[in-house]
Amino acid sequence: MQPSITTAALSTVIAALVLSGCTSTSTSTSTSTSTNSSTIPAGPQTRLQGDTFCEAATTELVIPVAGTFSDGQRVRDYYTGRTAVVRDGQVTMAPGEQAEGLVLLEAANSETGQFTWGGATVYFAVTDRFANGNPDNDNNYGRKPDGKNEIGTFHGGDFAGLAQRLDYLQALGVNALWITPPFEQIHGWVGGGDRGDFRHYGYHGYYALDFTVPDANFGTREEFRTLVQQAHQRGIRVVMDVVMNHPGYSTLQDMQTFGFGSLYDGFEKHLPERWGDWRPESWENFHAYHAFIDYDHPDWSGWWGKNWVRAGIADYETPPRASIDEVRGSLAFLPDFKTESDQAVGLPEFLKNKPATRATELEDATVRDYLITWLTDWVREFGIDGFRVDTAKHVEPEAWAELKAAAQQALEDYRRANPGEALPAEEFWMVAEVFPHSVQKSSYFDAGFDAVINFDLQEEAAAGARCLPAMESVYADYANRLNGDNPFNVLSYISSHDTTLFSRIADRDPQLQKRAAAALLLTPGAVQLYYGDESGREFGPTGSDAHQGTRSPMNWQAIDSGQVNSILEHWRILGQFRERHPAIGAGSHRMISKSPYVFSRQYGDDRVIIAFGAHQP
């Protein structure tokens, strides 16, 4: 007979029953949970076949350029390298055969412009799913593959793999790399998806166990240092994903390893020697292990402790739902850090006894003080250029302002200690994940954030992929808002780990995936490429959690074999053009002509004109 689950333990048990998205992240389930007090939808699932599709022109276009380029000036199409001299305020030029109707005009003597975050191209890579550079670190802490679809297991991606692919990113015109949290994750797993149909480990980095050391599956401190240094040498800034809202769940494996919590008396006999190796019976799922655990036992004090988190177990406070209290509520039933508390706390018991940690007792420090210290130590030691902040709406604004100030000081400390190294950033950059934030200057900019993720573009860009002129109202509105008299910045995307992949929206149509490059990379403000946007990476196995399929392995085989050359080369040319010209993201926008569709961007002395020629159906 199985014991009944008490009220105090209910939220933790439901956690395993419901979660398993990555709560990442801000999203979690990650996003699903993360950035929102409710679940983020899996993204637009409608296909594009009903929208207007422009047939790209390859014949000569008469392109008006007056006001941007002067008569007698020689201009160059960056896509093809062809040049022409401006006559009577216009040039005549045909798009390249692979250009999808685009002509990218710059001054023939143009050089790469000065970097600005307002025109940044940020590449977001889920470290574990991107590239495996060191197979020797693939199995740590007793983690194992499941031998099936590997939906929520570690796949082997690591810091070394990221470092080995930096030239690939540089060729895309990327000037900032956003990586998932590098911290040591919970060693064990929780039940994945609503049905508990897979083991869900913290491969995504949002289930932190120890914020002071890297997870061994991701690599060593020296491998992380090498990644950051080599990125900097290529002019690529490194933006590290951070979480201050919650740590990871408790798991059977971590209970056994670190000696916190308790099973019901006599139930140890129902578990294997290594508790993390437990498997459900044919009539059970991966949530069923909760029936072994006594969540009311006083030994849960050996975990984070009631002064650190709300968790609804033992004598810990039971948090409300995040939809009721955004700051003190629990996302996906994750333990909620008491970042708003002014009570001094000691180091959690399990960290005091953990052999491999850099966490030390801080004098008269609050939960917030510890977290800020742990996070900014990565900046001080490695020279991180920025933070992408997960679940920003679920932590009080004062915490973010303190984090920003401490991170800026840490970056300055690093610069002083490393005067001879390539250091792209002088000002520390922070971007917030706040579902469903759009292009507006909200109070988050008063809390230390330099940008907020924009959730609107994914749907808006779908029409633009089929016919670029559909983006005119979007481009004009974004540029007017972002780069006008009261400038601010957003980070826009077409795919993400918490919504869906554009390749799925496009129903895997290679031409739409190719054309999506223009819709995204010509968008004002900073833009985010999600790994594989540029190569048609496909949605993967997902189980009963719709978000897991967005984190499929990077499709290196298709890239290295040349199968996706047409898509990839198009993204590279547009990405390099964007990198050369900060005006594309940070400049003013002016539509010059409807047919052909022509617009200009200008930022100081940097000027470009983009023309798109098409035969309307």
Task: Catalogue the active-site residues.
Answer: 390, 433
Q: For the chain, percent helix, then strand, then coil, each to nearest 5?
A: 30, 20, 50
Going by C-alpha positions, the residue among 528, 514, 547 that lies closest to residue 204 is: 547
- CA-to-CA separations, 80 to 204, 419, 545, 570, in angstroms, rounded: 40, 40, 44, 11
**For 279, what's the count of Cα atoms within 13 Å in the CB-facing half-sphere?**
5
Going by C-alpha positions, the residue among 600, 581, 605, 535 that lies closest to residue 130 is: 535
Residue type, 13: V
Rg of the Cα atoms in the chain: 25
> What is the rounded distance in angstroms from the CA atom of residue 156 to the CA atom of residue 203?
9
> What is the rounded distance in angstroms from the CA atom of residue 342 to the CA atom of residue 368?
9
Strand partners, 176: 122, 237
Q: Peptide bond before 272: cis, by omega within 30 degrees of 0?
A: no
> What is the rounded distance in angstroms from the CA atom of residue 243 to the CA atom of residue 336?
11
Q: How many helices (H) and strands (E) does the chain have?
A: 17, 24
- CA-to-CA separations, 598 to 51, 146, 337, in angstroms, rounded: 21, 53, 51
Q: State the burial class of residue 506 (Cβ atoms within 10 Å of its Cβ: 0-12, 13-18, 19+).
A: buried
At 277, which helix (H) or strand (E)? none
The 8-class DSSP code of residue 356 comes to: S
Q: How far apart are the first and last CA of the chain?
A: 69
* Tokens 């979007």 belong to residue: 474
φ/ψ (deg, to 5) at 287: -85, -15
- Token pair for 68: 């941007």
- Token pair for 507: 């129903």
Torsion from C-alpha of 458, 460, 461, 466, nearest 10 degrees? 140
Residue 216: how many CB atoms within 10 A of its CB? 18
- Token pair for 359: 């966490």
> What is the rounded distance in angstroms from the CA atom of residue 388 to the CA atom of residue 617?
42
